[in-house]
Each structure stands twice: as C-alpha cells, then as structure tokens.
Structure 1
C-alpha cells in the first residue's frame, strides 16, 4: 500500500504533457470549445444560486423573522441533499451520455430557483432549498466530465482550473447583482435572475453535440446489436465490479472532498455576515470585499490548474493550501477595508487555487468509465459531511464575543473572525495530510476507456480499440495507459 499512497508526489517527467499547450489550444474545434464552455456555464449558474442565500442572509432574516443562524439552515439542507443529486444524475450521465441529463438537470434548477423567489413562508423556503440541493448535486459531476473528456490531455490542467472557477464567477455575479439590483429592489430578484441564467445554460447545452466518447461507444454497441435493456444490465454489472475493485479509493475520495468542502464553505458561506457583524462593515462594503475575494479565487484557480500540468496535481494543492495558512492572520486580524480585502483576495487565491486542481485530479483518479458518478458523488458526500460548516461558525460565533466601536460607542458582537481562523487553520492542515497520502494519475488518457455500459467498463484496463479511438496511439500514450493500469 505504501507505494500506492506515497510515491510520485511530483510526477515523473515522462508522464506529463506540458510542452504543447499553445498547439493544443490552436487545434481545438468549435465543438470542443462549446462543450467545455457549456460545462463551465452550468457550474457558474449553480454557484450563482447557491451563494444567493449566503449574500442575502440578513435580508432573509428580516423577511421571515428568523435569526441568521436559522437562515443558515437552508445552506445546510442544500448541502445535505446534494449527494442524492450526484448519485441520480451521475448514473444517468454515465449510462446515457453527458448531454440530456445535464439539460434536464439545469431545467430543474431553473424551476427551483424561480420557486425560491416566490416563497412566502420560512418552511416553504427550506423545502425549496432542500429540493434545489438535489438538483445542484448533479451539476458538478456532469459539468466536469463533459468539459474535460473532450479536450486534449495537454490542456486539462488549465481547463480544470478555469472550469472550477465557474464557482467563483457564480459567486461574483451573485455579489454584483446583490450590490446593484437587490440593493434597490428585493432579494427575490437575485433568484429570478439566476433562474433565467440556468434556463439559458440549458438551451446552450441542448444545442451543443453529445460528447464524442459517448457517440463512439453507442455506435459500437449498436453495431453489436445491444439494446437499451442489455446495456442497462451491463451497466449495473460493471458498477458492481467497479465498487469491488475501488471501494478503498471511494473512501479516500470522500475524505479528500470533505476537507476541501470545509475549506471552501468555511471561508465563504458566512464571510459577508462576518464582515458586517464582527468588523462592522456596511452591506455594500462587505459585498465589495466579497467581489475582491472572488477575483483572487478566479486568478488562483486558473494559475494553479495550469501549474499542476507541470509540477503535478498533489504538489500544486499542497502549495496552495500552505498559502491559505500563511494569509489567515491578514484575513481576520485587521479592521480596515483595504487590509481585510487583501486578506480575502489571497485566502481565496489559495482556497480556489487548490480547488482548481480538483476537477482533473478526481477525473484522473476515478475509475475511468464512471467519470461523472465517482467525482460527483465523492464531491457531494464531502459537501454533505461539511454541510453544517456555516451553522458551526454561526453557533460558535454566538458563544464567542468581541467588542467593536460603532458610532463612537463600544458594541459587543459575535466573534466570527476567531471562529473562522481556527476552523480554516485546522482544515488546511487536514487537507495537506490527506493530499500527501493520496494517489495521482497525472495525464491519464481516460477518454480512451470503455464506457460504463460496455462489457469490461468497470475494469481499469478496458481501453477502447484503436479503431474506436479513431487514430493510432503513440508509444508515449501506450506507456501512460500501462502506468495508469498499474
């Protein structure tokens, strides 16, 4: 077991594709560009709606006559139910393809976002947000598999970072809308806008062709005379085989994603409330600081994703998380807007830099035929475990007090700064340890693997025939496949 977990923290040079980024970008077809950006857009829409609650906690508390701690229950419920959506839509995607499961998923998100804007009571609000959790749970696994399997290996590190920062862009859009439209109208406008964007994303994905991997696999099965019932039986059998072989990997992936989700949600979900309550910022200034933080997130994700193609996935994650630890003091100690905004920028640069590697790290780590189900479920179970992070911070903050000066008078407030600093510090240490002991299959050619509904799809060595791939494999690609199966 030791070699599996500890060897190759920095991948061997022969297993990295980092010399052909520019030629690979130039070789992309419009279909490949469209498939990537449709996945990115779907994830951006998802994040926009999720953070709409975080940004309007104060408004929602007034609307429903509840405390901020009670409102964060909606965030917890959304995170809890995401794992169910990951299982449902992940299975549909690995069985039937990337296109229509994602389109249906986005339309459901649209309906539930619209429903959030129309709720009148707190129980209705919690019910809709719980259902939205199921819909949201399916988006990430489908988006990442759809985006990454259709582009060259040389671009997957960079693409991973850009894709994941759809999350930060969604947060950024929500913050801008909150700063402009919501400030002059109502919190409901934020969810109406999100519903429109999700519907637009569904239309875009419906117009973009199916993933080439699934087109080829379906054509091959059709030539063999396999029908829907036969393929479903094969899919169920191969799923069982995959679980028998990779149950330890499944546990590891959940442990990894638990740490990552605590890292992101612990640093983001209650951040606007922390600035308003503990630092005495206005809602406007808190939103501006949030926007600055998300600019750091976007930059960090893209840079780290690109860098991981050169120095490896795990080493990039470790460097980014160490950066998070280094900037915790700047994130919580100052009281000025400029210093706290700088802290937010660098904290999110590190957090989302590490996250920028996750889509490709999970895709390369996954059983190849289950690239939607495995990463999506691991991601969302980790979300489920970390779902109470906002409530943990809110509850702890209500028991730890600090004093600020407001209008020349001392005021006792909840000390969210200390709570967040302790939580993020502990989680950062945990993520580093789990990352070090984990596997890495840098630059694996998972797109050459059989689909989950093909016989042998549950095994790592079940690659498609050269004729099915559509071009001859180089010696290097064969070596990569051997290294992957080993």
Structure 2
C-alpha cells in the first residue's frame, strides 16, 4: 500500500458517521448502580484535578515562602507530572488483579496523607519531595476512576458518559479556584488552608467506595479467569504487552499531544496574565473561571458529539478550532474580548479530553484495561511534563519593558510568557491533529468481549489501520472489515 493510498484511507475513515441519539435517551439507559459508579469515578477525577491545580493558584505564596523564581515553582508542577505513570502502573495492575475497589481506597488514603504533608512543608526540598510522591498517587487514580465510570456503561451511551466523566477535570479546577478565593486570603493559615481542606473529600470517596461492589465487568472476567485458570496473571500480562505494544505505543503518543494541549494552555496562564498583561487578581480569577466553564461544557458536548461524528473526526475538528484561537488567546489583553476567546479555547481543548476516556477504553485490551488506560494516559503526561517549565524558560528568554519605566530588574521584571505558551501550544495542536489522523478508532466496538475460552480478547492492530477490528478473524457482530468499512458477509 502506497503512502497516498494510506492517506486517502485515513481521510475516508475519519468521515462523520452521523449516529444521532437523544442525550436524554442515552442517559436513560443507565441503571442505578451504573449511575453510582459514574458518580464515584467523576468525583475521584474531580479531586485529582483539584489537587494538581491547587499549586498553580498558590504559586505567588510559594515563591515568597521559599524565596524561589517562577521557573522553580513551575519545576514543581513538572515533577508532579513525571512520576504519575509509576502510580498508574502500580495501581493499574493491582486493580486488574484484585478488583477496582481496594486499590482506589488505598489511592485515596495516600492522597489524604500527602495533602496534609504538603500543608506542613517548610522548605523547598520538602515541597518538591511531597509533589513527587503526590504525582505517584495522582497517577494511580485515572485508570481506575475511568474504568469504574465506563466499563459497565451501555455501549450506546459511552460517548456522553465519557464527556460527563471527563467534566470532572474542569469541575476540579473550578472548585480549586473557588476554595482558593474563600480560604487562602481570609484565613490565618493562608495557602496551607487550601491543602488542609483538600485532604477531606478523599475520605468521603473512601466511604462511598466501601458501600459499592466491584464493577460487573470485572466480576464476570475475574470469574472466567479463576474458573478456566488457563495461565497465570503474570504470563497473561506479558502476553498483553507483547501482543498490544503497538497499540499501547500509539495511545501514549496520542496522550502526549493531548497533555501538551491541556497543560500548555492552562498551567502558567495565571503567571502570563499577571506579568504580560498586568491584570489584577480579581480579573485573572474571572478569566480562569470563564475558561473552566468552557472546559466543563466542552467535555460534556464533545463527548456526546463524538458519538455522532466519530472520535477521530471530533478530535481533529477541536484541534483545528483551538489552533485558530492561538493568537487572541495568548495575546489579547482587552478583558471583554478575551473572555469569549478563553471560553472557546478551553471548550475545544477540554472537549478533546471529553473524548479521551472512551477512546482509550475502546482501544484497550479487555483483561488489563485499568493498567493500559492509566499507564498510557500517564506516560503521555510524563513526556509532556516539562510543559510549564519549558514555557516559563522560553518566556524568560524574552524580557519585556517595565510598566513603570524603571527598567526590567528586581520586582519590576516582566517576561513574554505569551510567546512561550503560544509556541508550545501551536506545536501541540499540529502534532495532535497528525497523530489522530493517522491513528485507529474503535467507536461502536464492544469493550467487554472475550473469546469463548475466557482468554484475553485479542484484536488485530496496525498503526495505519483505521480501526481495531472486532476479533482475530476481523469479525464484529457477524460483519467483516473490508479495509474501508464494516459490511455483511
């Protein structure tokens, strides 16, 4: 197959599918237990985002306390992203081996301990150590939370449920912003009060999880594995890596692009608005809140839209619009004009993430879903972890004149952080569009299928194939993949 033929096939397979259903109808397909699992996964992911974003909100306080520069505090953000894949691997394997319940409970206990540890930090080194450990705990949460929320979900409702689950991320950012305004400047404990508070909700998640069973999908698979006893868990795990390394590699690369988009547009936004545009804290909070609302609605909307026009087409469309807004998003300083731009940019950036959970789960091998989804997501985060640090360093390479005319030194120093953010974000848009265009899609395929002998569900995969086929013979529900579309025998 020539390169031209491959590209033509990628265009054909990215065309919208127009499978339209009412959102209310899709939501009505969930039973009460599935709603509970969705609620649990949503709030677990919400608090993961709250924990991460809290640091960006208190950066000025940390700079003053530790006597460090913006780039030093940005390094702490990067260091909390880097070890997340370790937690994803550890807790993912545990969840696939022992069930979703207890790994999530242990994960939440670690979050409580580390939140309190951060609040008691007195030195910069202690702070960095806590953030590294915190990254491990945060990394273990995503795969388990997404599997809990989605794996029992009816196939027809996956897209909209994926969007609802991912909306937990901007919800966490909104809550962090609200409680930062409520606690940080109005309490004696200052920034530490935010982290004292953050240690509380994970305890509620633990109580909630204790009263819920494991997901039906996991229970059924565990029963099959125990009954058949075809191979040990370890050898089965090795087989999954050997059979699906190409798929896992693609998912990591895809998530790296998505993470560059998200963190590239958000992590040092507050710093950029303060130093580039000299906006007050009140205006910055307003801008961030509008952006988070855009993220919330984007996740909900694009998750549902992806059920109508396809996962890949929705992601490419969102990247295109996000790229078109690069200049006004990073350089516009007129507040009334900036607000709708920020809303729209975050709508489409986080709209992509509204598709990510279901897209990753549909591409994951059945038996090790938590490990594959969590590890691919967080390895992508690892490779994108330098984002806030790189953006800060690029920006500090372009000094700006002081606003008061006293030169660019001391407390009057200003740097062009917009330049660094625009470069990183623009490259991420192009990269993510290309990777998504060339990648696979399994929209509509069952995510709970197994072979008759209970062994790991295998699906043929090619880095240039538009979909992951239904089984080893290329069949799905009695239909055959002919290289371009599913057709009856």
CA contact (8 A) 1:238 1:458 kept: no
Aligned pair 1:202/2:206, yes or no? yes
Q: Which residue of 1 aligns with 2:458?
A: 459
SS in structure 2 of the partner of residue 446 of structure 1? coil
Deviation at 1:6, TM superposition (A): 2.6
Q: Which residue of 2 aligns with 1:53?
A: 55
- Mapped partners of 1:183, 1:223: distance in 2: 58
RMSD over equivalenced CA pairs, Å:
2.7
Q: Which residue of 2 aligns with 1:467?
A: none
Q: TM-score, normalised by structure 1?
A: 0.89
Deviation at 1:129, TM superposition (A): 0.7
Q: Which residue of 2 aligns with 1:417?
A: 418
Q: Report the CA distance shift for 1:406/1:173 in structure 2 as closer, same or farther (over 3 A).
A: farther
Q: TM-score, normalised by structure 2?
A: 0.88
Deviation at 1:7, TM superposition (A): 6.7
Aligned pair 1:127/2:129, yes or no? yes
Q: Which residue of 1 aligns with 2:78?
A: 76
CA contact (8 A) 1:89 1:101 kept: yes
Q: Which residue of 2 aligns with 1:315?
A: 313
Deviation at 1:450, TM superposition (A): 6.8
Matches within 5 A, 1:5-24: 6=10, 9-10=13-14, 13=17, 18-19=20-21, 21-24=23-26
CA contact (8 A) 2:29 2:154 kept: no
CA contact (8 A) 2:225 2:454 kept: no
Matches within 5 A, 1:30-429: 30-185=32-187, 186-223=190-227, 234-403=232-401, 405=403, 413-429=414-430
SS in structure 1 of the partner of residue 414 of structure 2? strand
Deviation at 1:244, TM superposition (A): 1.7
CA contact (8 A) 2:394 2:419 kept: no
CA contact (8 A) 1:262 1:386 kept: yes
Post-superposition Cα deviations, 1:438-473, rounded to whole Å, max 9, x if no partner, equal 00000211123379xx85216349xxxxxxxxxxxx
Deviation at 1:220, TM superposition (A): 3.9
Deviation at 1:435, TM superposition (A): 0.3
Deviation at 1:391, TM superposition (A): 0.6
Post-superposition Cα deviations, 1:343-370, rounded to whole Å, max 9, x if no partner, equal 2211111110111111111111112222
Deviation at 1:47, TM superposition (A): 0.6
CA contact (8 A) 2:47 2:202 kept: yes
Count of aligned residue pairs for this structure pair: 462
- Mapped partners of 1:407, 1:189: distance in 2: 37
- Mapped partners of 1:294, 1:384: distance in 2: 23
More helix by share: 1
- Mapped partners of 1:28, 1:480: distance in 2: 27
SS in structure 2 of the partner of residue 447 of structure 1? coil
Deviation at 1:113, TM superposition (A): 1.0
- Mapped partners of 2:258, 2:425: distance in 1: 10
- Unpaired segments of 5 or more residues in structure 1? 462-475
SS in structure 2 of the partner of residue 457 of structure 1? coil
Deviation at 1:241, TM superposition (A): 1.5
SS in structure 1 of the partner of residue 420 of structure 2? helix
Q: Which residue of 1 aligns with 2:472?
A: none
Deviation at 1:12, TM superposition (A): 8.1
Q: Which residue of 2 aligns with 1:471?
A: none
Deviation at 1:148, TM superposition (A): 0.7
Deviation at 1:327, TM superposition (A): 1.2
- Unpaired segments of 5 or more residues in structure 2? 461-474
Q: Which residue of 1 aligns with 2:471?
A: none
- Mapped partners of 1:250, 1:177: distance in 2: 38
SS in structure 1 of the partner of residue 152 of structure 2? coil
CA contact (8 A) 2:329 2:338 kept: yes
CA contact (8 A) 1:40 1:166 kept: yes
